[in-house]
Structure 1
Amino acid sequence: MYQEERMIQIVNYLKLHKRISVDDICEIFNVSRDTARRDLVKLEEHQKIIRTRGGAILPSFHHDSISNYNERLLTVSEEKQVIGQLAASLVRNKDRIILDSSTTVQACAEKLNVQECSVITNSINQADVLSRKDGVSIHLLGGHLQKEHRYVYGSSVIATLSHYFVDKAFIGIGGISAHGLSLIHEEDGMLKHQMMKQADQVIVLADHSKFGKKFPYRFADLSEINIVITDRLPDPDMLDIFQHHDIEVIVPS
């Protein structure tokens, strides 16, 4: 197993168990204590953990803290790649689609494989990825550049979007709960909501860690979603909520 894969699994373990020791890492991943310590040092450099005597704990992030786009790309998990592949498989030839600026949606852009397709996006990363694909027409929306998270935003972007109609919108989120879709930044949420309004079909891309989470800005209701693509089925309560709103849940077979 590569170091990056262990690092992702160490963080996932911490989310469940709150702390991990060097001995735990050695036993779980069958590695030496030196390797375990190097993993923890690397995670601390990325501000994913706080090292303690003999192990690590998760940092106490405030809700207004989120890694920048390039940092999040470093930890794009296998689950997000699977979600991206499933999302890309829903795009049909000659579809008109919207792709937002999330890293999970970028996984969809990377997997996109159609002969002809029109894409509207506010993400300079998505545009760059798609520029290397033949047959994909790209409309990169113009506006204020959010440098840290690599998307454009503003009233002019929302006004431009309102003139377009598309077959599908692929939307990434911070959290999804009975109260709706949420994230941290209001300007990002307003833009995502406009994207949803322009689409015949709204497809939310969310790994299982997003279920039940609520962030400060709620930008859409569950009634506005058609499909959720995720890496594993949500718990029965969340699944009941999705069924109540007639939301199709797609997971790997």
Structure 2
Amino acid sequence: MTQEERLLAILEHLKHHGKISIEQICERFGVSRDTARRDLVKLEEERLIVRVRGGAIRPTLTREAIRYEDRVHHEAKRAIGRTAATLIRDGDYVLFDASTTVKCAAEEIYVRDLVAVTNSIDIADALGKSDQATVYLLGGKLNPWHRNIVGTQTVEMLRQYRVDWVFLGACGLTEEGLTSSNPEEAFVKREMIRRADRTVVLADATKFGKTLFHSVCSWEDIDIIVTEQQPDDAFRNILEQHDVQILIATGGENG
């Protein structure tokens, strides 16, 4: 087994058990304690684990550092987008935040007389190609990393609108609700929720259990979550307790 294969196996163990000891690594992979320590050092350098006495634990804080244009548009996101798009009807007013999965939804909306408000450059461009959509692009500070508009001016502009729906991407979903890696983006998402009658979160299965830097909202603020596979029992119970409807997309990697 190569080191890369061993590191992936260690991460998989942590995903299910939350912690691993040096002894477990040695026994499972037939390596020395020095090799096991080097593996953990490498994983810690990449901020994938937290080393503790005698082993490692899974970090409680997830760091999001992937450029918008570098994120993979895999089939699960496409399937989630197609399913979410079916919620929209002719004449609806919709807020779209800047998310690759939300962009997938925007590209699958084929209704008439859509009125869209967004802080995403790419979603504005995609919807603007349709003669059946009126698009309002929010102003503020450009974040070239995520190709979106954020800041106090963005939040102030949002307060002028009232819409039927808001479509939000999810950076991380915890037992408490939605989290984001960027406070400015979290403020924009939060104001979007206030301006909408119904809130829809689009999240592939990798987002469940991720805790990021800044809280966006609790489950009480979310009406529908669209994902490609059923959450585990614990998460499903949380969603049921808060009357969050779960829509499972078909045609994705797990659908």
TM-score, scaled relative to structure 1: 0.76
Instruction: State whether residues 89 and 111 of structure 2, in contact with CA within 8 Å, keep that contact through their aligned partners in structure 1.
Output: yes
Letter in 1 for 2:150: Y
Secondary structure of the residue aligned to 2:107 is helix
Q: What are the equivalent positions in structure 2 for 1:212-251 lying under 5 Å apart? A: 212-251=209-248
CA 13–133 in structure 1, closer or farther in 2 if over 3 Å, else same: farther
Secondary structure of the residue aligned to 1:111 is coil
Select 1:131's aligned residue among 128, 133, 140: 128
Does residue 170 of the first structure (1) align with residue 185 of the second (2)?
no
Letter in 1 for 2:65: I
Secondary structure of the residue aligned to 1:149 is coil
Deviation at 1:86, TM superposition (A): 0.5
Alpha-carbon separation, structure 2, partners of 1:242 and 1:65: 24
CA 113–158 in structure 1, closer or farther in 2 if over 3 Å, else same: same
Alpha-carbon separation, structure 1, partners of 2:210 and 2:145: 23
Deviation at 1:16, TM superposition (A): 3.6
Alpha-carbon separation, structure 2, partners of 1:214 and 1:249: 20
Select 1:195's aligned residue among 173, 177, 192: 192
Which residue pairs with 1:157 in the alignment? 154
Gaps of 5+ in 2: 1-7, 15-42, 49-60, 251-255
Alpha-carbon separation, structure 1, partners of 2:247 and 2:10: 27
Which residue pairs with 1:68 in the alignment? 67
Instruction: State whether residues 62 and 210 of structure 2, in contact with CA within 8 Å, keep that contact through their aligned partners in structure 1.
Output: no
| Higher RCO structure, 1 or 2 (CA under 8 Å, sep 6+) | 2
RMSD: 2.3
Gaps of 5+ in 1: 1-11, 19-56
Deviation at 1:175, TM superposition (A): 0.9
Letter in 2 for 1:126: I
Alpha-carbon separation, structure 1, partners of 2:226 and 2:64: 25
Which is greater in Rg? 2
Alpha-carbon separation, structure 2, partners of 1:236 and 1:65: 26
Alpha-carbon separation, structure 1, partners of 2:105 and 2:115: 14
Deviation at 1:227, TM superposition (A): 0.2
Which residue pairs with 1:48 in the alignment? none
Report how many aligned residue pairs link the two structures.
205
Which residue pairs with 1:80 in the alignment? 77
Alpha-carbon separation, structure 2, partners of 1:237 and 1:63: 20
Letter in 1 for 2:173: I
Does residue 204 of the first structure (1) align with residue 205 of the second (2)?
no
Q: How big is each residue's C-alpha offset from its partner over 1:115-147, in whole Å with a ceiling of 9 and x where there is no partner?
A: 220000000010111111221100000111001
